[in-house]
Each structure stands twice: as structure tokens, then as C-alpha cells.
Amino acid sequence: MTNERRVIVHADNSSLASAVAARFITKTVDLIAEFDEASVVLTGGTMGSAVLAAINLSPARDSVDWSRVNVWWGDERWLPAGDPDRNDTQAREALLDHVPLDPHRVHAFAASDSGLELDEASEAYAAELAAHSPANASIPHFDITFLGMGPDGHIASLFPERGGVREREKTVIPVRKSPKPPPERLSLTLPSINSSARVWLVLAGADKASALGLTLAGVSVNEVPAAGVEGRRTTLFFVDASAAAQVPEHLITPGQFWTGADDHGLEL
């Protein structure tokens, strides 16, 4: 199947993180068996870190050949290396430092103390993406891209009513005057995100309910950037019950959207 868009509802954020972790492990094992590697794009935020921590705690964690996993990030905060608010720092603490990854397959954004300016760091990450891409392409093959979503509907560091969400040519952009701190960031663009075979949005909390409802109702991408997310094969919204509170009932129907109880046979 292609262009599937589904909502999977779990009772709370703990069961949500555990369920997504289990799916990730299963899918990654399958991808490596079929293609000899798997590429994942990580996100930050509370649930992004919670999923990685749940993967680390899973008894099945070591069934993954981590040396065959390529790791990228969807966005990063322009802060010094090792800063606790950087997405890569949080990912390393939650999972990456606990598994035998090949360091050459881990592609972090440059830090603010790297000697590069923000624009240069954006160009450097774009060049790194291109260097690991198929011929005549500017983005590697991404198997799974994780995203969070803010209460305003932002994804990665693409914010409502900002030029970044409308960028269609570049693969990576510098972000200035972000409406949430820190003000300077780096982000993949929407076309880069949507190049992924699978996009998994993981959301928890009542403060996400309105934005999720608007996303599924098809509002403009300029107003709610999450509305523009569409993986090439599947776009899955893994949510807790609080975040699902404003999802219109007619959207949670077989054939279009599923709840956690109905997701057997879901294309991972």
C-alpha cells in the first residue's frame, strides 16, 4: 500500500512509547534483513526521547544489528556540542550511547561551537545528505522519520506562518527567530521529510489535541505545518488518548484511520 495515513491511539504516554519502540525494533530488523541496512531520522522532544529510552529498555533491543543503522536528525538546536538541550545529546543519552552503532553512520548537525556559522552549518548538512544519496539525488533513502509536533502544529523546526515551511528547493535550512527557544536552529525541509518511506509522528498530551485535529482536517500547511507531512508509503500518527481528544470521529474509520485495537496488519 502507498500513501496510507493512520492514527493509532494508546491509553497513555508510557504505553505509547513502548508500543512505538516495539514497532521500530521489528521494522528495523526486517529492513536490515532485506536491504542490509536501515536509515532513521530522529527527533527531539519529550516523546522523541521517551521512545528511544523505551527502545533501550526493550528486551528485544539487541535483536537489531545496530552497526547497520544509519542515524540522521530532522532538526537541531544551535547550541554547543554536548548541551543537554541539543537533540543529539538527548538521543545519545537515551539510546545511542548504549548500542554498538558505527560512528560513521551517525550524522549529527554541527554545533554552535564547531567553528561554522549557522548558514554554513546548514550547507554542510545538506552536503552530507547529498554525499550519502543515490546518484542524481540530494537526500538519502530514509526508511523511518520520527517527528514530534508542537501545540502550534510545528514539526522539526518548521513553524506556522514562517518561510521555512514553504521552502521547496533546499533540503536543509537555517532557522532564526524561532518562536520557541533557542532562537537559532537547523531543520530539514518538508520535501526532505516527505522523502522518507515512513513518517511516524509520536504525540502525547491534551495540548496537542487541537493541532492534531486541524492536521487531520486538512488545514493549510502554512497554518499547521504537520498537515503537510506525507511519507511515501505511510504516515502514522501514534498518539495517546489525550492527544486524540479532538480527532473527528468520522476520521477514525476502517480504511482511513485506525485505533490501536484495530491495527493488526498495519504496514509498518
Q: What is the total residue count of the chain?
A: 268
User: Which of these, 181, 177, 208, lies nearest to 85 by C-alpha position?
Assistant: 181
pLDDT at position 256 is 41
Contact present, 52 and 86 (Cβ < 8 Å)? no
Which residue type does 187 have? S
CB count in 10 Å sphere of residue 98: 16
Q: State if pTM tops 0.75.
A: yes
Instruction: Look up cell 543529539; give the residue.
Output: 88
Residues of the chain with pLDDT under 70: 1-4, 248-268
| 26-33 own/partner pairs: CB under 8 Å, 24+ apart | 26/60, 26/268, 27/143, 27/144, 27/198, 27/268, 28/64, 28/69, 28/143, 28/144, 29/63, 29/64, 30/268, 31/143, 32/64, 32/65, 32/68, 32/69
The pLDDT, as a whole number, for residue 148 is 97
43, HSE (Cβ side, Cα atoms, 13 Å): 24
As given in the structure block, the three cell numbers for residue 172 are 536543509
All structural domains of the chain, each given as residue ranges with its CATH number in brackets, are: 4-235 (3.40.50.1360)
And the C-alpha cell for 27? 521494522
